[in-house]
Amino acid sequence: MNKKLYVGNLKYEITSQQLEELFAQAGQVVSATVITDKYSGRSKGFGFVEMSSDEEAQKAVEMLNGQEYEGRKLIVNEARPPKPREDFAPRG
C-alpha cells in the first residue's frame, strides 16, 4: 500500500522532479509534488511524496529527515489527512 510523506523546509526553487529524484534513493516513488501558490505559481516550501510501500516510506524518513538538502534541513514525516474545510457561506 502506498504511503504519503510530508516534506518541509524545501528551498523555493526545488521542483517536483528534483524531489522525486531525492526520494528515489529510498525506494520506488509513486508521486512527488511541490506545493505551489495558485496565483503566483511560486513554491510554498513544502511538498508531498508518495512511496510505494510502508517500508520504503519509513526508510525515506530515516534517511532524509533532518538531512541537509540544497542548504536546508529537511523535515520528513508521515503526512496527516487534511482537515475538513469549513464552508464560509453567508448565514441567514
Residue 35 lies in a domain: yes
Residue 86 lies in a domain: no
Does the pLDDT at position 88 exceed 70?
no
* CATH number for position 68: 3.30.70.330
Does the pLDDT at position 34 exceed 80?
yes
> What is the span of the domain harbouring residue 62?
3-78
Q: Is the pTM of this model over 0.75?
A: yes
Residue 74 lies in a domain: yes
Where do we find the cell 510530508? 6
Distance of CA 83 to CAs 37, 62, 80, Å?
Answer: 19, 26, 9
Residue 43 lies in a domain: yes
Question: Number of folded domains in the chain?
Answer: 1
**Averaged pLDDT for residues 7-22:** 97
Phi-psi region of 72 (alpha: psi -120 to 50; beta: other; left: phi over 0): beta
Residue 64 lies in a domain: yes
Residue 90 lies in a domain: no
Residue 24 lies in a domain: yes
- What's phi and psi for 75, nearest 5 deg? -115, 115
